[in-house]
Amino acid sequence: MRILVVLLVATSVAAVDLDWWKTALVYQIYPRSFMDSNNDGIGDLNGITSKLPYLHATGVDAIWLSPINVSPMYDFGYDITDYRDIAPEYGTMADFDNLMKRAKQLGIRVLLDFVPNHTSNESDWFNRSIRREAGYVDYYVWSDGLKDENGDRIPPSNWVSTFRKSAWEWNSAREQYYLHQFVIGQPDLNYRSARLQQEMKDVLSFWLDKGVSGFRVDAVNRLYEANPDNYGGRYPDEPLSGNPDTNADDYDHYNHIYTSDLDETYDVVYDWRDLLDKYIHTHGEYKMMMTEAYADVHSMIRYYGTDTRNGSIPFNFSFLGEITKSSTAWDIKTAIDKWMTHMPTGKTANWVNGNHDNSRMATRDGVERVDAMNLLALILPGVAITYQGEEIGMTDGELSWEETVDPQACNTDDPINYVKKSRDPCRTPFHWDSSDHAGFTRGRSTWLPVAANYKDVNVHNQLIAKKSHYKFYKDVGRARRRNAVKYGDLDTRALSEDVLVVTRLLPGEPGIVAIINLSDQVRHVDLSTLRLLPTNLIVIASGVDCSLEKGAGQLKQNVHMTAHCALLLQTREKCC
**Residues noted as catalytic:** 218, 292
Q: Which of 363, 389, 570 is nearest to 469 (CA)?
A: 389
HSE (side-chain half, CA atoms, 13 Å) at 526: 3
Q: Quick one: three-class SS letters along 508-556?
A: CCEEEEEEEECCCCCEEECCCCCCCCCCEEEEEEECCCCCCCCCCEEEC
Q: How far is CA 528 from the centre of its chain?
A: 37
The C-alpha atoms of residue 153 and residue 295 are separated, in whole angstroms, by: 33
**H-helix or E-strand spanning residue 168:** strand 168-171
The C-alpha atoms of residue 318 and residue 130 are separated, in whole angstroms, by: 41
HSE (side-chain half, CA atoms, 13 Å) at 343: 21
Q: How far is CA 239 from the centre of its chain?
A: 30
Q: In sequence order, which ranges of 302-369 are alpha helices (DSSP H)? A: 318-322, 329-342, 361-365
Residue 68 exposed, middle or buried by CB count within 10 Å (0-12, 13-18, 19+): buried
Partners of residue 572 on adjacent β-strands: none
Nearby residues of 511 by Cβ (< 8 Å), 6 or more positions away: 484, 488, 503, 504, 505, 532, 533, 534, 570, 571, 575, 576
What b/e readout covers 381-395, taking b as 16+ CB neighbours within 10 angstroms?
bbbbbbbbbbbbbbb
Are 396 and 360 in contact by the 8 Å Cβ rule? The answer is yes
In degrees and rounded to multiples of 5, residue 439 shows phi and psi of 75, 5
- Three-state SS at 210: coil
Cα torsion through 408, 414, 417, 419, rounded to 10: 40
- Which residue type sits at 180? H
In degrees and rounded to multiples of 5, residue 238 shows phi and psi of -85, 145
- Three-state SS at 351: strand
What count of residues does the chain have? Answer: 576
Q: What is the CA radius of gyration of the chain?
A: 25
Nearby residues of 80 by Cβ (< 8 Å), 6 or more positions away: 67, 69, 70, 71, 115, 119, 120, 123
Are 177 and 141 in contact by the 8 Å Cβ rule? The answer is no
In degrees and rounded to multiples of 5, residue 553 shows phi and psi of -90, 150
Are 123 and 81 in contact by the 8 Å Cβ rule? The answer is yes
